[in-house]
Amino acid sequence: MIYLFLGISFLGWGLIADSFLHFRKAANSPYLAEIWMGWAVVLFLVQLANIFLPINARLSLPLFLLGVVFLVISRRHALAWNLNLRRGDLMPLALIALCVVWIALRSMTQSPGHYDSGLYHFAAIKWSTSYPIVRGLANLHGRLGFNSSLFPFVAAVDAYPYFNHGHQIANSFLLVLSVVSILVHLRPVFKHPGLLTSSHPFRFLADVFALPALAYLGVQSELSSPSPDMTSTIVQIMLFLLLCNSLAQWREGAPVPDFQAVLVFTLAATAVTIKLSNLVFATTTASLIAVLHMKTARRSIMERSKLFIPGGAVFILWCLRGALLSGAPLYPSTIGYLPFNWSVPRESIRQEALAIFRWARRAGYEWNNMLSDWSWLRSWWYQRSTDFFSFRYPLYFSGLFVLLASIMRRFAARKSIQLLDWSILILPAASLLYWFITAPDLRFANATLPILGISSCLLLLLFFSSKVPAKVFTFIVLIVFFVGNLPYISYAVENKWQLKPCAQVGTWFDCFPKTDWKPIPEVTLTTEITLSGLQLFIPTASDQCWDAPLPCTPVFNPDLKLIEQGDLSSGFMLEPK
């Protein structure tokens, strides 16, 4: 019911945004586009409101209910959502129901498992539910300056003090939404299975190849954690699918609708606000969509520039929040640094960034010298290459498939395969290069490696689709799907027990009596007093505060003080030296 309520609310916000912006759109937008746009709008509004107000039930519940009201107001536009259900829709509806129940049960019956959730995710959410945005919060703990837009969203779903399980809903809802979006987009295939292979490979096969990667996310322990890593992975996959759909539209002679381009630009900007490591992935996707839109839709420069306004507003607001939290709009980068009295010292920001770079390259324990030369590379490659499932196999089979596609290109008709078709590889290639230069740990790659694998599969199938008979092509699709998803298939066979959402033993029905919400871990705290008399809570056993009372930090700085004595909401600053 919570997923349904959120989906209805986001649909209402998406439809009202569509009515307000007046962008041209197709009769049936792909991938539940209005709901994704509504989600981005709500994230923007929650972050904006948090500048002046705490994010509690008095803010979030009216916001979500307003989306339902907008859905009623926009009933004329909502008529386009008439599903016109028929007997052939029973299969996708059954799959959707199974997907929702399975993901919901897994999320409810797991405790937050992501280490960084205890380190700073829950602390950032607690600050959002307790106070308006706090100036200089990064002075309390450097990680609190990361400014992920996911945390205000989780705080909104928390509806504090009534619910407080937003961390178990946020990512699981987005996972449900992404899977449902794909199944709805595949609706014509359920009615006419031949469309899967007769259509352009980027049209429907991209959806099918993306489903195993999303299913794998469903068995991860961080599903119930407010982790920007998982959110980034889901949003990246959806942006990739929107790019594939736009490429298919271009090849079929149809224009890329304005609303679809705006959705991509807005989701790309939102991805950056979720995690700065999405920057190159987001900008590359937006650039490719802009090129496709220019090739397929005739618009004036003024009309095209309006398409970037929603995404620009999202990015500007995020930069403003970053300046308030740390004095650095792009924290942990010092680009655009502003020297407010609450600003984190430049050197502290640089050290925060270096800590990430060093941790991602961790080769032994000589971190201090790690960035001075390339001596870390051999040890890094050895550590990464031991991960066959997530690293080595996607690289190897992608390279093989791209090589085969390159060979086949020599025999393809000049007009059958165009240069822009190869742009599907630009996205993962550019993202992997940025990932390697900045923070080459697999958790920061998000969906880049799976997308590289899917891209190489689709490109290879694109060449085969125009060269072989339909039945042979269907057989090739099955082989490529099996090879491309062999690690996921192997994982499912070896971990069959994870297909049941709550335990290793018993039946599915045994899960339902055990669907209590798992609590947030608790920690033992001690207190320290700064030179200004500010009392801080410090975890004793680790560097994780989890959901501890405010202000909690694993790093004690005796020079920390409040901007206004006795008022936590006034913000934090350091004693001048």
CA distance 547 to 569: 18
User: Which two three-digit tokens encode residue 459?
Assistant: 């490109």
Torsion of CA 194, 195, 201, 205, to 10 degrees: -80
The residues pairing with 531 across neighbouring beta strands, listed in sequence order, are none
Q: For residue 390, give every residue at least 6 positions away whose Cβ sits within 8 Å of its Cβ, in sequence order, or none.
A: 442, 449, 487
Decide if 94 contacts 112 (C-beta within 8 A).
no
Q: For residue 35, give every residue at least 6 positions away whose Cβ sits within 8 Å of its Cβ, in sequence order, or none.
A: 7, 10, 11, 14, 177, 181
pLDDT at res. 467:
76
Question: pTM (2 decimals)?
Answer: 0.92
Identify the segments of the chain with pLDDT beneath 50.
79, 81-82, 363-367, 370, 414, 513
Decide if 136 contacts 342 (C-beta within 8 A).
yes
Distance of CA 462 to the CA centre of its chain: 28
pLDDT at res. 364:
43
CA distance 36 to 242: 12
Domain residue extents for the chain = 2-326, 327-360, 376-484, 525-574
Q: What does the mean pLDDT of the chain come to?
A: 85
Residue 500 burial (C-beta neighbours within 10 Å; 0-12, 13-18, 19+): middle
pLDDT at res. 513:
47
Report the first-to-last Cα separation within the chain, whole angstroms: 55
The tens digit of pLDDT for each residue in 172-221 reads 999 999 999 998 898 888 888 888 888 888 999 999 999 999 988 888 87
User: Which two three-digit tokens encode residue 530?
Assistant: 């700064």
Q: Which of 122, 217, 229 is nearest to 176 (CA)?
A: 217
User: Which two three-digit tokens encode residue 172?
Assistant: 């699981």
pLDDT at res. 414:
47
- Residue 442 backbone phi and psi in degrees, to 5: -60, -30
pLDDT at res. 567:
92
Q: DSSP string covering 32-58, please? A: GHHHHHHHHHHHHHHHHHTTTS--SHH
pLDDT at res. 63:
95
- Residue 528 backbone phi and psi in degrees, to 5: -135, 150
**75: how many CB neighbours lie within 10 A of its CB?**
10
